[in-house]
Amino acid sequence: MCKTHVLSVSGAKAPFEKTTIERRELRPDDIFIDIKYCGICHSDIHNAYDEWGGGMFPMVPGHEMAGVVRAVGPEVTKFYVGDRVGVGCFVDSCEKCEYCLRGEEQFCTKGVVLSYNSLDYDGNLTYGGYSQNIVVKEEFVVRIPDALDLDVASPLLCAGITTYAPLRKWNTGPGRKVAIVGMGGLGHLAVQYAHAMGAEVTVLSQSLNKKSEALELGADHYFATSDPAVFTELAGRFDLILNTVSANLDVDAYLSMLRVDGTLVNVGAPTQSDKYNVFSLIMQRRSIAGSLVGGIRETQEMLDFSAQHGIAPKIEVIRADQVDEAYERVLRSDVRYRFVIDISTL
Ligand code: NAP
Ligand code: ZN
Ligand code: ZN
């Protein structure tokens, strides 16, 4: 067992405190990783505030981990001491069911083991990346390409794959009109991926504040949804709308901007149920869908694609004692565009 310094919360909305936990002994197929940076995802806030229910405390959030391999178990074949690696939203799955076999471990029928706030297959609570190190089975570790610094790589492990995967799944490419709703941590990466995949990209943000940055990141058009005329102007425009917003939207208004056969894909995960009128779907054969992170194989593909296309999040690196303040700033949409904790300050 290895004692590790972490940032934890003792209950919903409690402030972060520096405490210690024990990481398990290395199993033969385990990797021991020194975490260097960990991104702050809005899901960390939903979980730490227990907004989705089922919160298990004490909680150590963090599922955007980038670090360096310190030790490997005797049966590890893919990684060596010193390798630059990442760990995302989950750390184990059955590896045998139909979804695991096709590389979509997030849908494992036994139940995927999340990086934190989850019970592993031995019944132990998992602790995430606001932590000096972590022990993970090698199959759930990805390689960070040399072209990506570890601090900018960390948000890709959740925000990157969560946007890359649905854009691929819904055939983003030349000739397709894609709208990204919300220019936050997920949204500003979605803009870059959709652009790199060749689509015509529109950002739908609450205000005009982020327009110049959206255009720099590859958006072709930008609209502020605070102006209701935008919904009329864009009626029937998009093949795909990727919604990254953490709050409930007027779903019918967004559906009205889809073409025939267009799809509204939700990755944003508000705490209350959405409402919509079924005629918003029927009349133009539209669909509503959801998407959950992405599998390990596709996460590696996303990292390689990011390195190849020069895609990276815009980050603000913070110290471990600034996390409470960072949460408040994320809730005020006062982040451009991802906070990343420098774990050496823990
Ligand atoms: P974030 O950085 O806070 O970004 C969300 C953005 O949504 C904000 O920057 C803001 O963009 C917009 N927004 C916020 N409140 C709004 C409101 N009331 N009305 C309209 N727009 C609003 O959060 P994030 O880390 O990108 O995560 C976004 C959501 O995705 C969260 O709910 C998170 O839990 C979820 N998530 C889901 C998955 C998955 O697998 N499905 C994975 C990761 C995260 P503008 O200023 O541009 O309007
Ligand atoms: Zn996340
Ligand atoms: Zn499985």
Mean pLDDT by 10 residues, the chain (346 residues): 93 98 97 98 97 96 98 98 98 98 98 98 98 98 98 98 98 98 98 98 98 98 97 98 97 98 97 95 97 98 98 98 98 95 98
Separation CA 158–CA 303 (nearest Å): 11
CB atoms within 10 A of CB 202: 23
Question: Is any ligand 1 atom within 6 A of the Cβ of residue 182?
Answer: yes
CA of 328 to the centre of ligand 3 (A): 36
Separation CA 138–CA 59 (nearest Å): 24
What is the atom index within ligand 1 of the atom nearest the CA of 335? 2
CA of 282 to the centre of ligand 2 (A): 32
Query: Looking at residue 239, what is its pLDDT?
Result: 98
Query: Looking at residue 1, what is its pLDDT?
Result: 72
Query: Looking at residue 48, what is its pLDDT?
Result: 98
Q: Residues with beta carbon < 5 A to ion ligand 2?
A: 41, 43, 158
Q: What is the three-class DSSP state of 144?
A: coil
Query: Looking at residue 196, what is its pLDDT?
Result: 98
Query: Looking at residue 250, what is its pLDDT?
Result: 97
Ligand nearest, relative to CA of residue 185 = 1
pTM, full prediction: 0.98
Question: Is any ligand 1 atom within 6 A of the Cβ of residue 160?
Answer: no
Question: Is any ligand 1 atom within 6 A of the Cβ of residue 246?
Answer: yes
Residue of 47, 49, 186 best suited for mutating to test ligand 1, as the one with most atoms within 8 Å of CB = 186
Query: Looking at residue 342, what is its pLDDT?
Result: 98
Which helix H or strand E contains 323, and what residues bound it? helix 323-331
Query: Looking at residue 2, what is its pLDDT?
Result: 84
Domains identified in the chain and CATH numbers: 2-158+294-345 (3.90.180.10), 160-290 (3.40.50.720)
